[in-house]
Amino acid sequence: MLYNENLFNFRGVSLMECREFNKILNEHFTPSAPAINNYMNRKDLDKRFLTALYEKGLQIIVYGPTGVGKSSLVWSMLEKEKLTYLRFPFDTMINENNFCQKVMHELGFEKIMQQKDTKENGDEAEIAAGASIWKLIDFKGRFKAHSKNAKENTVIPYYNEADIDAVSKALQLTNCILFLDDVEKANDALRKIIAHLGKKLSDSSVISGSNAKIIYVGISQEVNKLIEIDSSLRDRLSDQLVLAAKDEEIKNILTTGWDKLKLRWNSNELKNIVSLCCGYPRYAHWIGKLSAKNAFENGRNNIIRVDFDEAIKYIIEYYRDAYQTKFDKATGHKTGLHLRENILYAIASSDDIEVRIDYILKKCSELVGANLAQSQISGPLGELKKERRGMIVEDGRVNGSHRFKDLMLKPYIRMLMNQKNLI
């Protein structure tokens, strides 16, 4: 997003000032990337994670719904503590057959032929000439200068392409933390491998003295849906569940960025925007960035309602394919009280993730302007859980409660309601 100098000349704003504004805007508000340098502290969550980070032999799993700041938490803490780490994001091309090899290459190791007999990093085992080995060519971990053992003469015996022993030893020798991101994309066989790797690192940490560990990060409400956990790993794993942020934390994301941009705002409008975000930092970054941009482009140093409206309009359009199609499929109707639509509005308007039927009934009655009976909404509510309606709603964990299957739908639907003046 670059600005034309002529566009701002009449306002007395130079191109340099425009570029500086743009620089600060993109540094602080990062809706499409993890917040690293602009991470907002989350107190108790940060403290728990930091304690686990320095516990030798303890692996960490960070999980929760999308958009709540899981990767931001891990990335920002590793950067802040200046710990040697390698981020390894999963995709559909990574499987149980190539995972170990890819990690070794990402760390900076290459498979070569041993030219002469040598001892393996001072160990008793010798590596004979002609044997295949992994040799560290150029360590690629972040903060590699802090990893004193990351030397070019580091060699590890090569056994096969899927050798987790080599990965474990490589992480220990370089004292490197392996940050496995997007773990939900791993297949079942790969989930077993990365769990086994975690156990190996835990077992060897006492002997090696290394704080090498794995941080598993993925979208899930349950740990065992991300990695294969047995009793031996259970005691060596720290669960870090990341849920929606508190209103004050969302507020800090917005106001800290606007302060740096020297923009003013209305406290009542801010309260409404915080409510629309539903605790999701990603939406706060979107609204913070787009509203500031709109105010600046219109020559104002204060953010007003129209800037927020433009931001919300953009977000709704941006997520149209992801969420609007789901909403339309779930609510398609020709006549009647539009009960499925109003049920979704009711669930979205609640501050709770798990919404009880009595709240849904009360809110639906308000929306249609009539006293509804529970029997009138039971059928439409059940419909929203069926495949033909996209299974947009599911039973909550609390008995008698209901929730969105994709929790990111909640702020999206709230923004739709905001456009229709329903909140």
Taking only the tens place, the pLDDT of each residue in 299-357 is 899 999 999 999 999 999 999 888 999 999 999 865 566 899 999 999 999 999 999 99
The architecture (CATH level 2) of 44-241 comes to 3-Layer(aba) Sandwich (3.40)
Asked if the model's pLDDT at residue 111 lies above 80, the reply is yes
Identical topology for domains 44-241 and 320-419: no
CATH number assigned to the domain covering 5-32+245-318: 1.10.8
Q: Does domain 320-419 have CATH number 1.10.3470.10?
A: no
Asked if the model's pLDDT at residue 382 lies above 50, the reply is yes
Q: Which is more confidently placed, 36 or 323?
A: 323
The length of the chain, given as a count of residues: 423
The residue type found at 176 is C
Q: Which of 33-47, 80-94, 159-173, 218-232 is most confident? A: 80-94
Q: Where are the alpha helices (DSSP H) in 64-130?
A: 70-81, 99-107
- Domain borders along the chain are 5-32+245-318, 44-241, 320-419
Predicted TM-score (pTM) of the model is: 0.82
Q: What b/e sequence results for 311-340 when a residue is b if at least 16 CB atoms lie within 10 Å of its CB, and e otherwise?
A: bbebbbeebeeebeebbeebbeeeeebbbb
Distance, CA of 29 to CA of 19 (rounded, Å): 15
